[in-house]
């Protein structure tokens, strides 16, 4: 089987498990604890999901090309852009009347696609051998 396809399958499976972590923590914060602002539930649940996903994908999906510190720093840089952007457009969509759970699903799908591309082509990019 093609190496890229195997990576995509593994990333998808670990992302599904991270999605469960994110959905459960979002539900606890939003539905159980009653945090009304979208971003107050979204950001902590996203952070938990990121830690989960990074740990498994670094170990099982991609061949690490640097140290844990380097790889996590690059992932953190991605999330320095994605987290405020998703919180801002999530809040905007909430004000337009979209349901919080629909917004969370949209954010999770955008995150899934963009994070895979970022990890594959930036964090764990393989050096071309001459």
What pLDDT, in 10s, does the model give residues 76-103? Answer: 999 999 989 998 998 899 899 999 889 9
Average pLDDT over residues 40-46: 89
Q: Is 129 a member of any domain?
A: no
Q: How far apart are CA 130 and CA 128, in angstroms?
A: 6
Residue 28 has pLDDT above 90, yes or no: yes
* pLDDT over threshold 50, residue 58: yes
pLDDT class of 44 with cuts at 50, 70, 90: very high
Number of domains in the chain: 1
Residue 38 domain boundaries: 3-123
Q: Judge whether 130 lies within some domain.
A: no
Residues 6+ apart with CB under 8 A from 10: 57, 60, 61
Q: Indicate the burial class of 128 (C-beta count within 10 angstroms; 0-12, 13-18, 19 or more).
A: exposed
CB 83 within 8 A of CB 22: no
Would you state the pLDDT for residue 67?
Answer: 87
């Amino acid at each position: 089987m093609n190496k890229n396809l195997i990576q995509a399958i593994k990333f998808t499976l670990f992302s599904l498990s991270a999605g469960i972590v994110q959905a459960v923590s979002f539900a606890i914060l939003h539905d159980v604890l009653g945090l009304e602002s979208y971003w107050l539930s979204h950001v902590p649940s996203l952070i938990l999901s990121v830690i989960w996903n990074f740990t498994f994908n670094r170990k099982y999906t991609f061949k690490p090309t640097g140290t844990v510190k380097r790889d996590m720093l690059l992932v953190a840089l991605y999330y320095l852009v994605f987290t405020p952007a998703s919180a801002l457009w999530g809040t905007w969509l909430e004000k337009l009347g979209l349901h919080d759970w629909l917004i969370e699903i949209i954010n999770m799908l955008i995150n899934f696609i963009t994070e895979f591309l970022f990890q594959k082509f930036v964090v764990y990019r393989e050096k071309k051998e001459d």
